[in-house]
Amino acid sequence: MTAAAPVLEVRGISKRFPGVLANDNINLTLRKGQVLGLLGENGAGKSTLMNMIYGLYKPDEGEILVNGQAVDIAGPKDAIDLGIGMVHQHFQLVDVLTVTENVMLGNESVSGPFLRRDRARREILELSSEYGLDVNPDALIADLPVGVQQRVEIIKALYRHADILILDEPTAVLTPQETRGLFKIMHTLLEKGVSIIFISHKLKEVLEICDDVVVLRRGKVAGHADPQRSTEGSLASLMVGRDVILEVEKAAATPGDEILNIVNLQVHDDRGLPAVEGVNLGLQRGEILGIAGVQGNGQTELVEALTGMRPVDDGRFYIKGEDMTDSSPRRVTEKGVGHVPEDRQRDGLVAGFTVMHNLVLCTYYRNEFSNIIVVDDRAIADNAHQLVEQYDVRPPIINNPAGGLSGGNQQKVIVAREFSRGVDLLIASQPTRGLDVGSIEFIHKQIIRMRDEGAGILLVSSELDEVLSLSDRVAVMFEGQIIDILPIEEADKDTVGLRMAGVRDDIQREGAK
């Protein structure tokens, strides 16, 4: 069977930044109707390469060919005109505008001086129906779940007639159900003749959805893999250059004193609706309590209340026996609490600050980094050099702005800052989101180390495998309530999955048969 013709080729592409060779003589080929997987560690050069294909960067060497013709892509408009669309890891949407207005931005349909929203709206409905995207063109972006916002980004690309689609970490913020929906959409796109580059750290998904895989390591092509003949282990080894332990290794927990006690906590969301409804939880030193649940069931609001980022409507919570309800984030931090936030860009970093200053956001005023009046940049730099090396932040340039790092390396900066402070209680929400397998392995080991040294860990993750592999107990959250708490020995996927769907009485019903 003759292979389909290449629709996109990259030949000998290299890209340098000050002190960094981000891409080094990269070659890859995308064929018509194919899903090409692109794997690599955080900082391996994946996003840089895609940004050159999309016109956000200019290559220093090499060429890009579209349908066999060498092209000069000077900016995103050139890429769009060539039929290339890109759905970025962090969506490029304006929250206060409607779906239609977002889709039209930069490609407005006009009649004289007037915008033709009606024309764009009709086309969005047609695309939504044709590709099974199920998007309301009149909805405000701010009101849409993350999975639907992603579909809006796909519609934006199709509205501009893209037949080459780059999906950068498309499942990083999706629930398992939303991921299944995305894969269904991808199959429809392929049937319609669209070719897809799929960037992901989730090896199971790469094996399931991709036709071919290219692996980058430190800016170079480390190899190719056939998903039909590969395993998660072989892909991980090719990415990292060594064997990776994909299973978490830990001894049984030895819980100590209670460090966190939550009593009948009630919290509203941004719309003023109940999000946390009467939650009661206790966490002891030396244990990991995982909170499982489909995203959007109150986990975000619970974490924000516990870390001083959201007011409490009713109930109390106590840290080390002290009432900390409605305390400021500074007071919570001073109590020995570390926090890895769900939204790293909004809540975890100051994008315009350097890496070294982001690493001391919680501690810059303490004696080791300040004399009360003036901060000690030498001490801050020494701390940053140590943490950047320990947590493998790439590029390891501490004076770069944190906002210029890849998403995974931004996450490493946050994790390095919070894990290195010697905290007694760690509240970690999606701690490995966007990280490669090698980094996930390292972070998991650090979480187990902190537990074994006596910290209490409250772990919130949309990755059920992560919750089950790390936790000593699992609390399942559904519609703002904790509907069950299971010892890890009883927390198998089927049982937890039923609880996540709101089924509370399956055990009783089984016993009654």
> Is 408 a residue whose pLDDT tops 80?
yes
Looking at the structure, do residues 164 and 24 belong to the same domain, yes or no? yes
- Is position 93 within any domain? yes
Q: Calculate Rg over the CA atoms of the chain.
A: 24
As a whole number, mean pLDDT of residues 21-28 equals: 96
As a whole number, mean pLDDT of residues 126-134 equals: 91
> Is 493 a residue whose pLDDT tops 80?
yes
What mean pLDDT, rounded, does the chain reach? 92
- Is position 31 within any domain? yes
State phi, psi for 152 to the nearest 5 degrees.
-60, -40
As a whole number, mean pLDDT of residues 125-152 equals: 90
pTM listed for this prediction: 0.79
> Is 221 a residue whose pLDDT tops 90?
yes
CA dihedral 96, 101, 103, 109 (to 10 degrees): -160
As a whole number, mean pLDDT of residues 418-423 equals: 94
Looking at the structure, do residues 44 and 97 belong to the same domain, yes or no? yes
Give pLDDT tens digits for 323-338: 999 999 999 999 999 9
Residue 447 confidence class, pLDDT cut points 50, 70, 90 = very high
Looking at the structure, do residues 45 and 73 belong to the same domain, yes or no? yes
Q: Which of 436, 384, 386, 429 is nearest to 409 (CA)?
A: 436
Q: What is the pLDDT of residue 295?
A: 76
Give pLDDT tens digits for 222-232: 999 999 999 99
> Is 362 a residue whose pLDDT tops 70?
yes
Q: Which of 354, 347, 345 is nearest to 410 (CA)?
A: 345
- Is position 301 within any domain? yes
Q: What is the pLDDT of residue 58?
A: 95
- Is position 107 within any domain? yes
Is the bond preceding residue 395 a cis peptide, omega within 30 degrees? yes
Q: What is the pLDDT of residue 42?
A: 86
Q: Which of 341, 305, 344 is nearest to 326 (CA)?
A: 305
- Residue whose entry in the numeric block shows the structure tokens 């994008």: 351
**CA distances (Å), origin 320, targets 264, 267, 425, 490:** 18, 22, 9, 28
**How many domains is the chain partitioned into structurally?**
2
Q: What is the pLDDT of residue 505?
A: 60
Q: Which two tokens stand for residue 427?
A: 């509240």
- Is position 399 within any domain? no
Q: Percentage of residues in the chain with pLDDT exceeding 90? A: 74
Q: What is the pLDDT of residue 373?
A: 84
Looking at the structure, do residues 265 and 225 belong to the same domain, yes or no? no
Residue 432 and residue 282: Cα distance in Å, rounded?
A: 24
Residue 142 confidence class, pLDDT cut points 50, 70, 90 = confident
> Is 386 a residue whose pLDDT tops 50?
yes
Of 184, 214, 240, which residue constitutes the final position of a domain? Answer: 240
- Is position 407 within any domain? no
Q: What is the pLDDT of residue 171?
A: 85
Range of the domain at 252: 247-329+459-513
> Is 513 a residue whose pLDDT tops 50?
no
Looking at the structure, do residues 220 and 304 belong to the same domain, yes or no? no
Q: What is the pLDDT of residue 2?
A: 56
- Residue whose entry in the numeric block shows the structure tokens 């244990």: 287
Find the length of the chain.
Answer: 513
